[in-house]
Amino acid sequence: DAEITQSPRHKITETGRQVTLACHQTWNHNNMFWYRQDLGHGLRLIHYSYGVQDTNKGEVSDGYSVSRSNTEDLPLTLESAASSQTSVYFCASSEVGLAASGEQYFGPGTRLTVT
Amino acid sequence: KQEVTQIPAALSVPEGENLVLNCSFTDSAIYNLQWFRQDPGKGLTSLLLIQSSQREQTSGRLNASLDKSSGRSTLYIAASQPGDSATYLCAVNVDTGKLIFGQGTTLQVKP
């Protein structure tokens, strides 16, 4: 069955360190997204990609970057981790077009703590 | 700017009751609307997707409706069960997959 996996599932890091969260999907979807979920703010879009070599900023992109070198993966990098980036991070994918509904599928999430 | 609101924030009902969760959005220019379920500490599970041209979708005991012109959607859960206890999120697709989420309704179904 197609799925989205995220790794690691839990991560503790120190302020100032670079951290990369992995996202891998086997849906063969062109669209991939990163969200963060925080109490009081809900889910907010960080970055997204509509295909290989395409990346775009979302609502809360400061301090984050992504790269898309193939269809399956969209890693999220925190350039210099800050305590404000302690959150749960979700990766998602979808497909649009005549034969696709646009339904978005989510990974299990990564809980990141920055100390 | 699109805003999505879910009311109530929390709901507690006895088992067997039919219930309605509400979702409202400020801009009717949406591609579709998706309802999700989230269990504590878990990811999001897609429940129903309604395209902007549709009025409703059904899956088992769940029925979602969409009134795009008034900016409203409802999720109807029939004959609720304790296993339905979770947080329910609605999200509108504003631009080729970019989702704007509501804050969610946390549902507790008591045996």
At residue B67, the pLDDT reads: 96
CB contact under 8 A, B45 and A106: yes
Range name among A33-42, A106-115, B83-92 with the lowest pLDDT average: A33-42
Q: CB of A97 within 8 Å of any CB in chain B?
A: no
Coil, strand, or helix at residue B52? coil
pLDDT in tens, A59-72: 999 999 999 999 99
Band (pLDDT 50/70/90 cuts) for residue A95 is confident
Confidence at residue A100, expressed as pLDDT on a 0 to 100 scale: 60
Write out pLDDT tens, residues B3-59: 999 999 999 999 999 999 999 999 999 989 999 999 998 999 999 999 999 999 999
Task: Report the distance separating Cα A66 and Cα A46, nearest Å.
Answer: 9
Task: Check whether A99 has a pLDDT greater than 60.
Answer: no
B96 touches chain A (CB under 8 A): yes
The candidate with the shortest Cα–Cα distance to B32, out of B1, B9, B55, B8, is B55
Q: Which of B51, B97, B101 sits opposite A94 (nearest CB)?
A: B97
3 state SS of B83: helix
**HEC profile of A52-108:** CCEEEECCCCCCEEECCCCCCECCEEECCCCHHHCEEEEEEEECCCCCCCCCCEECC
Q: d(Cα B69, Cα B71) in Å, to the nearest integer?
A: 6
Q: What is the pLDDT of residue A29?
A: 93
pLDDT at residue B98 in the model: 87
A89 touches chain B (CB under 8 A): no
